[in-house]
Amino acid sequence: MFQSHDKSTRITTYRPRQAVLVGIITLVVSGALLGCNLLPASDPIIVIASPTPDTTDTTGAAAEQPTATIEPDADTNTDTNTDVTPEAEPEPTTETATPDQDTNTVATEQPSESVLQRVQDRGQLLCGTNADLPGFGFYDNVRGEWQGFDVDFCRVVAAAVLGDATAVEFVGLTTSGANERFEAIRNGTVDVMFRNTTWTIGRDVDGLAFGPTTFHDGQTFMVRNDSGIETIDDLAGSTICVAEGTTSELNLNDVFTARGLDFTPQLYPDASLLYPAYDEGECDAVTSDSSQLASKRETLSSPDDHVVIVDRISREPLGPVFIENDQQWLDVVTWAVFATIYAEELEVDQSNVAQLAQGDDDPRVQRLLGVEGEFGAELGLENDFALQIIIQVGNYGDIYNRNLGPDTPFELERGPNKAWNLGAGGVLASPPFR
């Protein structure tokens, strides 16, 4: 039942700054040689720099569904400034520069084609998610279908962009290796990722962009009922299982150091290994986001023998991730998510949206559903994009309750994950559609 784990595995980060520096020097030297007529101008030197893998991970991993093989993208996050200065002043010319001639321009990071255009041309959204986290991202082998909160937000984007929530190819992504999930975004294997991923500054400045937070989470611990552990301080001296290279590992070290608590970390290279190890008694506690612990508790041999403690050691804003420097795609994903939140604010849901679209006295509802205004067209979408989202997938509350609510095995309370006007503690809010 239980396989041995390699606790010594470490994720090695390659940072190719030196490669980029060598590339720049090579270009400058090449330019000088061109000026001296030692190299033909028709034979450009191409320098390829591998992208920098991200080693910061969140919890969760794909297991049952085969995941895409991620190949490095040679053109990701590379700025190229080619400036060749000739030895002598050239004679004035009116010739148009050819591709082989130096035009002294700086290559920008702006993509030549928007992700939106690619998705619309393809007729299908490529969405990265978890394949082994029930409630959030899960491939049901019996039913042959994808399920979960994050999975439904993939469908939200598909409904907005293509008018069809089923026009999605789900790509199961893991947290192992050189951060497969982030490389999948950078090299275009996926168009967007909804995969219980924490928004951090380190990720935001490393070629990625984040959309609105879809789930406000927090890190905590799962322990055995008979352990006597009820608070963080009770964990002093414990052995704690944690996924290596994740925000969970970093938070654990920070908080226990700050509190002066001794502990022994038991590191595993992938989150999918944590729970079998914990279930087999290799550690006193396992730590991750509370939502993941609640989900994984149901997979243990005796779920009722374990409890997720109330204390939290962090706040984890989880949401969509996509490539940076594509403003149109950022706007599309952002406002698709906001449409689900704003709909719940206005009490527009799957049960009443069709009727409200026929006519409603609230101008906010009319703007949201595209009856008034041209907001969809301004995004490059149909004006009824929000209407399609709500009809086909639902508002935020519909999505939450279907996957995580009181009628599910997880019974997760909404807590902060409800609209600001729907009860104490709700922090979700959308900018107005106007």
Q: How would DSSP label each residue in 295-327?
A: HHHTTSSSGGGEEE-S--S--EEE--EEESS-H
How many Cα atoms occupy the beta-carbon half-sphere of 424 within 13 Å? Answer: 0
Shared domain for 362 and 308, answered yes or no, is no
Shared domain for 246 and 205, answered yes or no, is no
Shared domain for 183 and 326, answered yes or no, is yes
In this predicted structure, the answer to whether residue 82 has a pLDDT above a threshold of 80 is: no
Shared domain for 212 and 323, answered yes or no, is yes
Q: Specify the pLDDT at position 376.
A: 97
Range of the structural domain that residue 29 is part of = 15-49
Shared domain for 250 and 298, answered yes or no, is yes
Q: What percentage of the chain reaches a pLDDT higher than 90? A: 66
Q: Specify the pLDDT at position 176.
A: 64
Burial of 38 (0-12, 13-18, 19+ CB in 10 A): exposed
Q: Given the DSSP bridges, would you call strands 125-129 and 168-172 parallel, antiparallel or unpaired? A: parallel
Shared domain for 354 and 279, answered yes or no, is no
Total domain count for the chain? Answer: 3
pLDDT grade for 111, boundaries at 50, 70 and 90: low
- Answer whether residue 423 is part of any domain: no
Choice among 71-80, 351-360, 369-378, 385-394 with the minimum mean pLDDT:
71-80
Average pLDDT of the residues in 245-267:
95
Burial of 284 (0-12, 13-18, 19+ CB in 10 A): buried
Domain boundary among 258, 282, 314: 314
Show the tokens assigned to 106. 């700086």
Q: Specify the pLDDT at position 297.
A: 94
Shared domain for 196 and 306, answered yes or no, is no
pTM, entire model: 0.72
Shared domain for 284 and 358, answered yes or no, is no
> Look-up: residue for tokens 């000739």?
86
- Answer whether residue 75 is part of any domain: no
pLDDT grade for 112, boundaries at 50, 70 and 90: low
